[in-house]
Amino acid sequence: MTLLAWAVAWILDYLLGDPHHWPHPVRWIGALITFVQRLVRRCCRSETALSIGGGLMWLSVVGITWGVAWGLLHIANAIHPAFGWIVEVWMIFTVLAARSLDDAARDVEQPLRAGNLEESRKKLAWIVGRDTSQLHMPQINRAVVETVAENTVDGVIAPLFFLLLGGAPLAMAYKAVNTLDSMVGYKHEKYRAIGKVSARMDDLANFIPARISWLLLSLAAWLCRKNAVDALRIGWRDRYNHSSPNCGWSEATVAGALGIRLGGPNEYFGQRIDKPWLGDASREIAVDDISGTIQLMWVASTLALMLFALVRIIWSGAF
């Protein structure tokens, strides 16, 4: 029944994504983070105190998320196993973000193809942290490709990895870890202290999934008839050409598969950040690379589901 729950949740994500009018645990987690962050800032003033408070915030949010998910699943199973199974499917469905990522990328791609740069910049600002107001077409293309490549890990592969390790409650806890990083895990002055623990724990949580993504995206490149050899080669060569210890793995692999260059300088919160380049510029990046990256994301994510399901079967048989 567990593997069936995985499959059903995967299909639901493919078909439905994240309808904006539906209640979603990530929004509840975000509200909890906002509430706890206000308490921490009210009580902590110095850099050291904010760092400690940020650590307590991380423990509170992740612990509450795991506890509520575990308790809800336990109660549902006590009511009836079938009800418990439905709740498990719902939880897994909510931690998967492949369809949402697909939709967000295509929301930028469509006006870009029509030559509407202003609309593309507006839609892009919803999914990236950089300043999009002055970006031109190649920069927009690059930003979308980087976002899809990076979020293939924390939007699909990592949740499935933690689902394998600890079921739906641990996958929900991972979602809390990732949401904390996306809300407070920045290096600029406002969040540097309070978000330090959240940023580092997100790096730790994504350590293994990011490296798995290198192999899965390379295999996806071969299945999609892209450059699998360069995906493997450049994914390994440029894996650390990124401020994050994890993001370079998937972004460099996608750059190699498509024969383009990612990274480079960007504006974040009014500050210019010069990032190293990922990949070789065998050609200029184009709008079609957005669709190509989405295709790689879906294939790699499907491979991740199959891989972890196989590991679960072998694991269950061995023990």
Taking residues 4-13, report their average pLDDT: 95
HSE value, Cβ hemisphere, 13 Å, CA-based, for 231: 25
Q: Specify the pLDDT at position 144.
A: 96
Tokens of 173: 């806890």
pLDDT value at 264 more than 80: no
Q: What does the alpha-carbon distance between residue 199 and residue 244 come to, in Å, rounded to a whole number?
A: 10
pLDDT band at 20 (very low <50, low <70, confident <90, very high): confident
Q: What does the alpha-carbon distance between residue 61 and residue 73 come to, in Å, rounded to a whole number?
A: 18
Q: Specify the pLDDT at position 299.
A: 98
Taking residues 230-255, report their average pLDDT: 95
Q: What does the alpha-carbon distance between residue 33 and residue 31 come to, in Å, rounded to a whole number?
A: 5
> 271 and 188 in contact (C-beta within 8 Å)?
yes
Residues 6+ apart with CB under 8 A from 4: none
**Ranges 7-11, 116-120, 270-274, 289-293: which has the least confidence:** 270-274
Q: Specify the pLDDT at position 60.
A: 97
Phi, psi of 44, rounded to the nearest 5 degrees: -115, 130
DSSP letters along 229-277, please? HHHHHHHHHTTTSSSSTTHHHHHHHHHHHHT--EEEEEEETTEEEEEEE
Structurally, how many domains does the chain consist of? 1
Residue 64's nearest CA partner among 159, 163, 175, 156 is 175
> 2 and 83 in contact (C-beta within 8 Å)?
no
Residue 108's nearest CA partner among 79, 55, 71, 145 is 145
Share of the chain above pLDDT 70, in %: 96
Share of the chain above pLDDT 90, in %: 78
Structural domain range at position 166: 2-318
pLDDT band at 276 (very low <50, low <70, confident <90, very high): confident
Taking residues 23-34, report their average pLDDT: 92
Distance between alpha carbon 63 and the CA centroid of its chain, in Å?
A: 20
H-only helix segments in 191-243: 196-205, 207-223, 228-237
